[in-house]
Chain A
Amino acid sequence: MSNIIDLTLSELVSNIKNKKISSNEATSAYVERSKKSKNLNAYNEEAFDIALKKANDFDSKPDFNKKLPGIPIAVKDLFCTRNIKTTASSKILNNFIPTYESTVTQNLWNEGSILLGKLNCDEFAMGSSNETSYFGNVISPIDKDLVPGGSSGGSASALAAKLTPATIGTDTGGSIRQPASFTGTVGLKPTYGSCSRYGIVAFASSLDQAGPMTRNVKDSALLLEVMSSFDNKDSTSVDFKRPMYSKDLSKDIKGKKIGIPKEYRVEGMSEEIEKLWEDGKKYLKDCGAEIIDISLPHTKFALPTYYIVAPAEASSNLARYDGVKYGFRTVGDNLIDMYEKTRSAGFGDEVKRRIMIGTYVLSSGYYDAYYLKAQKVRRLIKNDFSNTFQKVDAILTPSTPSSAFKIGEKSNDPVSMYLNDIFTVPVNLAGLPGISIPAGLDKKGYPLGLQIIGKSFDEQNILNIAYSMEDKINFKFNLKEWWMNE
C-alpha cells in the first residue's frame, strides 16, 4: 500500500472504512509531516495533541457510517472553532478563543472528521498571496520563494504539501480558486447560500462563501456534500435539496454546452494560458461536450466593482474589532483614542487600506458615485451570466491570468495584486459556483488552473465536467520535498 499521506481524501476514507488504516495512523502521519513542514508557515495554530486524542477516541469506538470517519483535517483560520484560537491571521484577534463553532466546521466534525489545526491566510482574507497575514507569509511547496496564492494560502500550501488530506477555505473574490490554481490543487467556491456563513469571520458578507480544497474533484464533491447545509442561523442560507455530490458524480457530460467568454481573453495574456484554455476546450469536446463562443460584456468592470463592494462591506464588518469585547487592545487617553490606537496597531496595512476604501465609498457625498454605482454594475454582471446561462450549461475560463508569482513581487502595487483575481471575482459578484482544477504547467514548471463556472446551485454539473476533464488532463506535479526538515 502507498504512503498514507499520498492517499486522496476518498481513498483515505475507504481505507479507514475497510479498517486498513486507523484514524490514529492517519492522524499521526499528518501530524508528523506537519511538524516537519514548519518552513512553509502554513499553520497558525496546531491542534495536534487534541487531534491524536480524538483519533484514539474514534478508533476505540469507530462509526464507519460517517462520511469522514476519523479523518484529520486542517482548516483555514477564518472558521471559528470552539476552544481553539481563531485569529483570521490578524493581530487584532490575537488570543481570541471562540466558545462556539462555525456551522461548516461543525458539519465536518459531525461526519467524524477531526481538527488538525488552523491554517494561515491573508489577514481577514484580504489578499491574493498570503502576504498580509500577521503571522507572516506562507510559502508554496511548489517552489521556495513562491506565494501559494491567497487568501486561503495556508490551506493551499498545506494541501499541496500533503499536511492535510483535504482542507476548507473561504472565497470572497477567488480566495479558494486562485491558490488552488497556484498550487496544482482543486478548489470549489459553491453558490452563495450553499454553505452557512455562521461562525466564519466575515470579510464581505454578500460575497463570502466557504468551500472545499482537495487533491481531486471526487474529494471536492465529498467535502462539499458534508459542508453544505441549510442553516437557520444564517439569513442568507438557502433552503434547497442538496444532492449527494460524491454519489452522483458522473463523467457523462455528453451534449453539455460549454461557453467560452471572449472577454476573458485579456490583453497581455500569456501564450501558456491561451494554450491551456485551448487544451481545455479540446478535452471537453473529447468528452462529447459542445463548445460555444459567448460574451460576458461587463467582465472588465467586475474588478473595480468588487473593489468597491467588498471594502464597503468589510469596513462595516470590521468595525466590531474595537478592543472592547475580545482581542487586542491598546491603552488610550479616552474612548476614541483607544479605538484609534487599537485599530491602527491591530490591523495590517492591506486591511487598513480596504477599510479606508470602504469607508470612503460609503461616506456622504460619495455613496451614489461609488457604492450605488457598483451595485448597479453588479446587477449588469449578474445579468451577463443569467443571459448566457440561457444558452450554455457551464463556462470555461482560465482560473488566473498567470501562474504563482514570487513573494514580494506585487506587494507594493495594490492594483497589480488586485488584477490577479480578474477571472475569479465575477463569479462571486454573481453568486455562482466555480471550480478550479489543475490543468497544466507553465514554462517555469508552475501549475496553472482552469475554472468551470456553473449556474446557481448547479454544483453537480460543474463537478461532473471537472471530473471528466480531470481524467483527460491527467495532471502530474512532481513535488520535491525541499521544505521538510527531518
Chain B
Amino acid sequence: MSEANGFEPKIIAFCCNWCSYAGADLAGTSRLQYPPNVRIVRVMCSGMVHPNLIIDTLTKGADGVILCGCHPGDCHYLDGNLTAQKRAEAIDLMLEDFGLEPERFRLEWISASEGPRFAQVMTEMVESIKGIGPSPYVRRSD
C-alpha cells in the first residue's frame, strides 16, 4: 500500500463507547482489513470530545482526526451526538483559521453493528489524507 513518497499518515479516531467503539470491535472480530494508520481513542460519548482536543490533536502531530458517534436518535445519552454535530461545524471553521484542509477532520456515525462500514470509513479517510499529504504542523524527523 505504500505510496511513492512513503507517506504514512497518523490518524486519530475518537470512538464513542456505545456504538462506534463496538463497531470497531466488530470489525476486528470479523477479521475485516483496514489500514493500520488509525489509532482509536475510546471516549464515553462523541459529545464529550471538546473542539480543543481536536485542534490540539491536529496541531500537535496528527495528520487527520475522525470523530465517530452513534447515529442521530441512537445516542446512549440522548443527544450527545447532536452536540458533537454542532461542535463539528465550529471545528470546520477553525480548520480554516489554523490553515488546515477541511478533509483532515471528519464526523461519522457508525453503529455497533456496522463493522464493515467502520473498516470502509477508515480506509477512505486514510486514502484521502494520503492524497493531501502530511499536516503542515507536523515536523517529521526525516
Q: Do A and B come from one complex?
A: no
